[in-house]
Structure 1
Amino acid sequence: MTETAATEMLVITRIFDAPRELVYRAFTDPDQFAAWFGPVGWSVPRETVSIDARAGGRQSFTMVNDADPSLTSPADGTFVEVVENELLVAHEEVHDFPGIPDGTVMEMRIELHDEGDGKTRLVLRQGPYPVEIETDARQGWGSSFGKLDALLAG
């Protein structure tokens, strides 16, 4: 009998002090994406970012550790559903990621909702994650969203 690790979807809800169009653009414009994505201590060099935000389009980039640039984390996903200023859904087949079996299809779903007064409620669903990795993923997104707050305020 094969034992399977418990998995769950990461769900994060966050309010940004910016309209949906600006939050959406931060996810789909390569220059903006490179400026904020990745937790503190990691960056995304602009030359590694490619985003074609349409169903069937791809998103690829590489996060690089600021202290040790030999540590990298590449990502390459395919958008399966896109509704401008409202929804981004992408799938990525995972390989060589500790704790996640090779070939696992990870889904990332980003919903943007108008909260009034120029604010946007973002709901992120991503996974499946093994339970022991979910906490690190949550912290990484939280750190990235802090950088996104700063970009949107700028």
Structure 2
Amino acid sequence: MPTRELTLTRTFDAPQQLVWNAYTVPEQLARWWGPQGLHTPVEKITVDLREGGAFNLTMVDGEGNEYPSEMTIRSLRPIDELVYGWGGQRGLGGGEITVTLSDDGGKTRLVQHFVGEATDEMFPMMEQGTNEQLDKLVALLSS
């Protein structure tokens, strides 16, 4: 499986702490994690916010099919950076995701960088799904 990289950037009209909480508090994650057509029930989220801690989420589709993601927090600098390793899923061989938050004139700039393995077929779907997921986060933080 080829190694790929994907960097996505969003700017939120919200303070950095609020964006950090959206990524690290299960009740917040449940409100936006997953692309269109999938949701992530809070009872299917585990966040142990420390290096080596679990960062596990199971997305569920409308038919009840589950898509688990087992991840491990590799490093974190609250409220600036979260790095987690991802074990992969259905045509995606896993990799590492770095989420960096920075102040942008009272707003928060988020840069999410993925490096890992993905098939030619799955990489465009991963990019689309991640964009949809971040769009859901924009909508949540705008409300």
TM-score by length of 1: 0.85
Report the CA distance between 1:92 and its aligned residue. Answer: 2.4
- Give the number of aligned pairs: 142
Return the letter of the residue paired with 1:88.
L
1:52 maps to 2:36: no
Structure 2 counterparts to residues 104-143 of structure 1, below 5 A: 104-116=93-105, 118-130=106-118, 132=120, 133-143=122-132
Deviation at 1:137, TM superposition (A): 1.3
1:8 to 4, 9, 23: 4
Fraction of identical pairs, as percent: 35
Alignment of 1:99 with 2:87, yes or no, is no
Q: Report the CA distance between 1:134 and its aligned residue.
A: 2.2
Structure 2 SS opposite 1:55: coil
Mark the runs of 5 or more structure 2 residues left unpaired by the alignment. Answer: none
Equivalent position SS for 2:10: strand
Equivalent position of 2:141 in the other structure: 152
Q: How far is the alpha carbon of 1:123 from its aligned partner?
A: 0.7
Task: For residue 22 of structure 1, give the secondary structure of its aligned residue in structure 2.
Answer: helix
Partner of 2:67: 73
RMSD of aligned C-alpha atoms?
A: 1.5
Structure 1 regions of 5+ residues with no counterpart?
Answer: none
Work out which of the two has the higher radius of gyration on C-alpha atoms and give 1 or 2: 1
Question: Separation in 2 of the partners of 1:6 and 1:91?
Answer: 17
